[in-house]
Structure 1
């Protein structure tokens, strides 16, 4: 019986998206990278709005020219709308840096520098905007680009401050401008250094992430494969059997289960040592992978036993591949150190019946294997 959570989840999956989700898709699109780029542009818009509000306040209290403020506010608007249209249309993908972080940073710093020259007595408040823009750019730009943007900002602000000190010394005293320039240069230098450290940190995190992914992949590989033979282990084979049973229940092909037991393997261990026994297991696994069909799956079931999953074909005999394997092993030495010793095995087959538990098919294959061993070994029996 479905639980309340299951029913709720099913209902949620069929409900139309909320208006906020639809609005977000319309505004930002559905591509994750483009959404991130537009989100960064949105943060830049907040900075822009703050600067515009500051300019409007300066004009209202009479320390800035209304016409100049209106012109600059219009340029800010064109800046934001222009970049939004470029990104939303997807044209930004044509550039080497689809985020367009560098041109956004340069234009923003240029407009803030113009704001600095217009705000008279309150011009010092705009300096913090320069740092804020660079902080946002630091997360999108490479360290070299950040340094270049910082150099541009310092150079531009130096020229603006010199011009302001000469043309409006009342509101831009030279000594105060020297202080503001030194402050701007120090802040830009600090941001440039932080950008390098941030980049190094991100590189380390990326390297660690790759190393963790590789370690996890290795652990998953070890958890699903037998260390000695490299074949799928018992747990992995059970998973594959369940998957094939589920596929068959949905109309997929039927399959056979085959259990193979290497004949007289204990005698090999006792007579030649466990190293020789390991060599025999590896040789069998290697030859089985060469001889069997690509669709056949073999795994180590335990000890000297192996389990095969053989998808059924319309005219195929499931024992043919195992017969080829037996014949090929009869011609190959079990190991260079074992002389004339050949690998022989007994095999038991069971055809998976529709709807039965996988364990039952395995049990019938095991009974067939017992029958093959009782009949003299080195043969196959199908039940």
Structure 2
């Protein structure tokens, strides 16, 4: 009983998954691409194991020569072991196709062709292996390479079948071999055609995937941007504020929250029309992005209000950028059509305090904005 308990504990031990991981890394490496290449080789090894079992069975029932089966079995293991060594050593990376799918396919078909010639009465079973190798090749090779491999397979099997009819007519009757050859040719032709269709399908799926990714990126951009000004919208600015608050809690820089309201914007709309009001909003957004620091972020908060996230980077004063923006707007017309109109704004600042909710900092900035407007507009107030 203690021995059983120890075995159970060993199976339940968290060290076992770690041992499995280390063993997998030792056999397959830690390069994801090389692991994929070795996975393809694993499929080839599976086919190899099936053919070897068929050879051993043929030898056991006396349908194949034991010595020939032994030589082929060794060749199969050399085939798998050799490619494994090339991949694990990294030498395959210097090849045009690092997966080595083409040489694997051709060598596998050659060995299966040899197996066909030595398995006598049960040789028909090896034809299935030819098809299986090509099916795997469809997912690794380009259509042109699949066609070459299919032509090679048909030519090889034609030569093997002629040799077998001449030297072992008892087990390889000519009529039966003609049928087997026709069947092989038809199957290879079908695989070649299917490979082209599969490639077209993968190309279409890849194109659709790229189009969907681009559409999704566009949708995300639209969801995070204000359509009129191109600035981040309210939702995006809230996300940025939360991210900066989290970064500050982890030792990042402090920052200011600033809310800007364009002065007398309603009268602009009433006097000049909404098109002029839209032009004023776009002009403000453009100049703000030009004047403010690259570390500052501005978004449209709603209507004629904008929210700024101003990083506090000593010895600079984040409020100076807003002052520069006010001076710049005082020099430029609101739009080409309204040359005499100047954009003026009121601004309220709130310095983010440690651990406070973002909503609280925004509320203090809003109170500062109200104080700026109450004091006569076109000014900034810090709370």
Range into which the TM-score falls when normalised by the shorter chain:
over 0.9
Whole-angstrom distance in 2 between the partners of 1:213 and 1:235: 22
Unaligned runs of 5+ in 2: 1-13
Counterpart position of 1:35: 35
Counterpart position of 1:76: 76
- The secondary structure found in structure 2 opposite 1:200 is helix
Counterpart position of 1:320: 320
> Cα offset for 1:26?
2.1
Task: Give 1:1-383 correspondences, 5 Å limit.
Answer: 17-383=17-383
- The secondary structure found in structure 1 opposite 2:48 is helix
What TM-score does the superposition give when structure 1 sets the normalisation length? 0.94
> Cα offset for 1:19?
3.5
Whole-angstrom distance in 2 between the partners of 1:221 and 1:15: 46
Deviates more, 1:300-309 or 1:215-224: 215-224
User: After superposition, what is the alpha-carbon deviation per residue over 1:301-348, rounded to whole angstroms, capped at 9, x for unaligned?
Assistant: 000000001011222222210111111111111111122111111111
> Cα offset for 1:18?
4.1
> Cα offset for 1:16?
7.1
Whole-angstrom distance in 2 between the partners of 1:247 and 1:359: 17
User: After superposition, what is the alpha-carbon deviation per residue over 1:148-202, rounded to whole angstroms, capped at 9, x for unaligned?
Assistant: 0000000111111111111111111111111111000000000001101111111
Whole-angstrom distance in 2 between the partners of 1:149 and 1:112: 14
> Cα offset for 1:17?
3.2
- Residue 258 to residue 198, structure 1, CA distance change in 2 (3 Å): same
User: After superposition, what is the alpha-carbon deviation per residue over 1:267-300, rounded to whole angstroms, capped at 9, x for unaligned?
Assistant: 1111111111111111110110001000000000
Whole-angstrom distance in 2 between the partners of 1:194 and 1:381: 72
- The secondary structure found in structure 2 opposite 1:363 is helix
- Residue 199 to residue 291, structure 1, CA distance change in 2 (3 Å): same
> Cα offset for 1:22?
3.0
C-alpha RMSD of the superposition:
1.4
- Residue 151 to residue 294, structure 1, CA distance change in 2 (3 Å): same
User: After superposition, what is the alpha-carbon deviation per residue over 1:194-245, rounded to whole angstroms, capped at 9, x for unaligned?
Assistant: 1011111111111111111111111111111111111111111111111111
Whole-angstrom distance in 1 between the partners of 2:311 and 2:266: 31
What TM-score does the superposition give when structure 2 sets the normalisation length? 0.94
Counterpart position of 1:11: none
Number of equivalenced pairs: 371
Whole-angstrom distance in 1 between the partners of 2:128 and 2:78: 22
Deviates more, 1:135-144 or 1:53-62: 53-62
Whole-angstrom distance in 1 between the partners of 2:168 and 2:242: 83
User: After superposition, what is the alpha-carbon deviation per residue over 1:35-70, rounded to whole angstroms, capped at 9, x for unaligned?
Assistant: 121111111111111111111111122121111111
Whole-angstrom distance in 2 between the partners of 1:189 and 1:247: 62
Whole-angstrom distance in 2 between the partners of 1:244 and 1:129: 61
Unaligned runs of 5+ in 1: 1-13
